[in-house]
Amino acid sequence: MKFILTIFLILLSLSSCTDISFNSKKWKSWDIRESETNLRWDMANDLIENYNLKGKTQSEIIDLLGKPESNVQNPSDDYYYDLGPCRRGIDFGSLNIVFKNGRVIKIEKNCN
C-alpha cells in the first residue's frame, strides 16, 4: 500500500509542473480573458532562467516582451508585466524588470 501511495504522490507532483517554454509571440499576444489565463505565469520561469535578461536595454526588453503594462513616463522607469493568476489561491502575478542606466539589473516574478 505504501508503494502505491508513493507512486501516486510522485505522479501527482510531476503532473503539477506547469512551466512551459517561453515564446515571445505568444507572450505579446496573450489576453487574460482567453482560455490560456496562466500562459505568461507558466512561461516566466523559462524566460528568467534562459533568456539572459540582465544587461539588456529597454528596447531589447520591449522587442522580446512587448510594451509593459505599467505606464512608463520616462526611460528610467521600471517595467511591469501582468502574468495572470499565480496558480495558487486568488492572487495575480507580475514580472517586474528593474533598470539602472537603461539596462536590466533585476528581474522579479511576484505573486500578490
pLDDT of residue 16: 46
pLDDT of residue 89: 73
Closest by CA to 22, choosing from 2, 52, 1, 42, is 42
SS3 content of the chain, % helix, strand, coil (to 5): 35, 25, 40
Global pTM reads 0.78
What residues in the chain have per-residue pLDDT under 50?
5, 8-16
Q: What would the pLDDT profile of 33-44 be if each residue is shown by its tens digit? A: 777 889 999 999
